[in-house]
Amino acid sequence: MGDFLTLQHVSRTFGGLKAVDDVSLTLRQGELVGLIGPNGAGKTTLFNLITGFTRPSNGSIRWQGRDIQQLSAHRIAHLGIVRTFQNLKILPNMTVFDNVSVGAMGQHRYRLWDALVRRGKPQRAVAESTWRALEVTGLADAADQLAANLSYGQRKYLEIARALALSPQLLILDEPAAGLNDTETAQLADFLATLHRSGITLLLVEHDLNLVRTLCQRVLVLASGALVAQGTPDDIWRNPLVQDIYLGRDDEEVTNAA
């Protein structure tokens, strides 16, 4: 596996607050990595830095050897780094198919009006990408439904389908299990494992420790904006510092959650 993504001494300051503090890390092609830490640790800010929604105050971000820290979010997505959002960004008054088509158009550099109205090869490419993403996520039968009519769990998969329509090499997931019950979380874990086996590198922020422990090959821990630990799930769960800081849990709670 080669290095896909490399962050070197990345920081982001908002006013006097250092949300991300001198973070250096590497993701390798084919990994499935979890990012954990207390609320306010800087996890979402780090995702925003990697995906171009926020620019770093200091440091460099390299994707397959190329500096990307000054590129737009759209350009970074086109290069192969795509993210989902904790607060779902679906368009409720559009169909499931059209929601995913918005993502597919980003991959094919095709305008919304052209994709929905005109005919021809670009439109076919958008439709093909959309159907592939719907089939992978199990939403093909709901393609003609309004997104507003989906269950919360289905909306989670719709958010992932829109990201998959961009043909990501690295898919970044922001709390994909948030709001799901135990059965839905187990189903999501199986889905993400299958997605990973298909060849997509995955990085996820997640508060469900059981999901992280069972799913991820490697775990990164942020606290107060700094990367304080990284290693296998077993290494992380045995780490006394992690036990002390993660979400304010004591040793027994962290051990039981694992």
Residue 194 has pLDDT above 50, yes or no: yes
Query: What's the fold here for domain 1-80+168-258?
Result: Rossmann fold (3.40.50)
Question: What confidence score (pLDDT) does residue 123 get?
Answer: 72
Residue 120 has pLDDT above 70, yes or no: no
At 131, which amino acid appears? Answer: W
Question: What confidence score (pLDDT) does residue 248 get?
Answer: 53
The overall average pLDDT reported for the chain is 87
Residue 74 has pLDDT above 60, yes or no: yes
- pTM comes to 0.86
Average pLDDT over residues 115-141: 78
How many angstroms separate the CA atoms of 96 and 105, rounded? Answer: 15
Joined tokens for residue 250: 């004591």
pLDDT in tens, 204-247: 999 898 899 999 999 999 999 999 999 999 999 899 888 887 64
pLDDT in tens, 138-174: 999 999 999 999 999 999 999 999 999 999 999 999 9
The distance of Cα 201 from the centroid of its chain, to the nearest Å, equals 10
The distance of Cα 161 from the centroid of its chain, to the nearest Å, equals 12
CB 205 within 8 A of CB 35: yes
Who has greater pLDDT, 73 or 3? 73
Residue 131 has pLDDT above 60, yes or no: yes
Joined tokens for residue 5: 């993504």
Residue 53 has pLDDT above 90, yes or no: yes
Instruction: List the chain domain ranges.
Output: 1-80+168-258, 91-167
Quickly state the pLDDT bin for 252 (edges 50, 70, 90).
very low
